[in-house]
Amino acid sequence: METAVSRHFGEIALTPAGQRVISGRYDHDGVPVDLDLSFGEHDRMDESCIHKVDYRLRFLPELIEAARERITLDLGDSESPAVEYRHFHCQNLNDGKIRELFGVETQDAVDDAAFVRALRLTRVGIFPGQPERYFVLDFTLGEGFTDEVLVAAADEDGVVDDEVSWD
C-alpha cells in the first residue's frame, strides 16, 4: 500500500476512496490544537493532496488571526451568533469566573477585545474535497466551562467566510 508522510499527521495510507478522518496535532503558540483531516466518500487522497495540506497549514497562524478579526466584526452585529454565544456564556458569571476567563474584574469590563482574547482554538477541521470550506476552526471559552464552540470557516486560499456560527 502506498503511503505519504505528513508533518502534522504522520504516515498516511493512501486509499483510493472512502470516507476517512485522520487526526493530527498543531502547536500554536505553545498550545497543542487538534487537527482532523477529513476525506469524503469520493475525495481524492494522494501524496500531492497531503503535501498541499501541510503547505497550507504553514499559514494557520494568519488564518487564526483572520478568524478572530471576523469574530470581532460579528460582535458589532447584535443579532450575530458571536453576540449570542457571548451573551449566553457570560450572563450569569460571578466576578471570580469573569477574572479567570477574561482577565478583567467585572462583567461590564468584558469588552469585545477581552472576549476575543479569551477564545481558545480547540480544533481545526481540514476538508480537501471542499475548496470553499477547506478549513473549519472551532473556538471555545474553555473546556470544562462549555462544550459549545464558535465556528469560523475559510476557503482553500485562507479567506474567512463572512459568517461565524455557534455549534
User: What digits encode the pLDDT tens for the residues 46-58?
Assistant: 899 999 999 999 9
Q: The C-alpha cell of 4 is what?
A: 505519504
In the chain, the percentage of residues whose pLDDT exceeds 90 is 68
Structural domain of 112:
3-166
43: pLDDT strictly greater than 80:
yes
What is the domain count for the chain?
1
pLDDT digits (tens, 9 = 90+) for 108-148: 888 999 999 999 999 999 999 999 999 999 999 987 778 88
Cα dihedral value 131, 138, 64, 44, nearest 10: -30
What is the model's pLDDT at position 11?
93
Q: Assess whether pLDDT exceeds 90 at residue 42.
A: no
Look at residue 41 in the predicted model and tell me its pLDDT: 87
The answer to whether 111 and 101 have CB atoms below 8 angstroms apart is no
pLDDT at residue 117, as a whole number:
94
Confidence at residue 121, expressed as pLDDT on a 0 to 100 scale: 95
